Amino acid sequence: MIEVRDLHKSFGDLEVLRGIDLEVGAGEVVCVIGPSGSGKSTLLRCVNLLEQPTSGTVVVDGVELTDPECDIDAVRRRIGMVFQQFNLFPHLSVLANVTVAQRKVLRRSAAEAEKTARANLERVGLADKVDAYPAQLSGGQQQRVAIARALAMGPAVMLFDEPTSALDPELVGDVLAVMRSLAVEGMTMMVVTHEMSFAREVADRVVFMDGGVIVEEGPAAEVIGAPVNERTRTFLSRVL
Ligand code: ADP
Ligand code: MG
pLDDT one-digit tens code per residue, 2-33: 999 999 999 999 999 999 999 999 999 999 99
Q: What is the mean pLDDT of residues 42-60?
A: 95
Q: What is d(CA 78, CA 155) in angstroms, rounded to the nearest whole number?
A: 4
Write the DSSP symbol of residue 229: S
For the CA of 10, the nearest ligand: 1
Do residues 147 and 124 touch, judged by C-beta distance below 8 A?
yes
Of ligand 1's listed atoms, the one at least distance from the Cα of 162 is: 2
Which residues have a Cβ under 8 Å from the Cβ of 142 and sit 6 or more positions away? 86, 88, 134
Q: Check if the beta carbon of residue 22 is closer than 8 Å to that of residue 40.
A: no
In whole angstroms, what is the distance from residue 130 CA to residue 34 CA? 36
Among 10, 11, 44, 52, which is best to mutate for testing ligand 1, by the most ligand atoms less than 8 A from CB?
11
Please state, in angstroms and rounded to a whole number, the distance separating the CA atoms of residues 21 and 5.
Answer: 5
Residue-wise over 215-238: b if at least 16 C-beta within 10 A, else e?
bbbeebeebbeebeeebbeebbee
Would you state the pLDDT for residue 169? 92
What are the tens digits of pLDDT across the range 170-228?
Answer: 999 999 999 999 999 999 999 999 999 999 999 999 999 999 999 999 999 999 999 99
Q: Is 193 helix (H, G, I), strand (E, B) or coil?
A: coil
Biggest distance spanned by C-alpha atoms of the chain? 55
Closest atom of ligand 1 relative to the 212 alpha carbon:
10
Given a cut of 90, whether residue 240 has pLDDT beyond it is no
Could you tell which of 31, 41, 191, 213 is best to mutate to test the pocket of ligand 1, judged by most ligand atoms within 8 Å of the CB? 41
Using 50, 70 and 90 to split pLDDT, how confident is the model at 76? confident
Average pLDDT over every residue of 77-94: 95
Whether the pLDDT of residue 55 is over 90: the answer is yes
Helix (H) and strand (E) counts in the chain: 9, 10
Q: Which ligand 1 atom is nearest residue 38's CA? A: 3
Residue 116 Cα to ligand 1 midpoint, Å, equals 35
Q: ipTM score here?
A: 0.98
Residues with CB under 6 A from ligand 1: 11, 14, 16, 34, 36-42
Closest-lying ligand 1 atom to the alpha carbon of residue 51: 23
pLDDT in the model for residue 37: 97
Q: Write the CB contacts of 47 (distance below 8 Å, at least 6 apart in sequence).
A: 2, 4, 58, 60, 65, 79, 159, 190
d(CA 41, CA 45): 6
* Residues in contact with 210: Cβ distance below 8 Å, sequence separation at least 6, in sequence order: 34, 35, 38, 231, 232, 235
Contact 211, 180 (CB under 8 A): no
Is the pTM here over 0.90, yes or no? Answer: yes
Span 114-162, pLDDT tens digits: 999 999 999 999 999 999 999 999 999 999 999 999 999 999 999 999 9
**Alpha helices, H only, the chain:** 40-47, 72-76, 94-104, 110-123, 139-151, 169-184, 196-202, 220-223, 230-239
The tens digit of pLDDT for each residue in 90-100 reads 999 999 999 99
Mean per-residue pLDDT, 54-83: 92
Number of the ligand closest to the Cα of 39 = 1
* 62 CA to centre of own chain: 19
Confidence of residue 75 (pLDDT cuts 50, 70, 90): confident
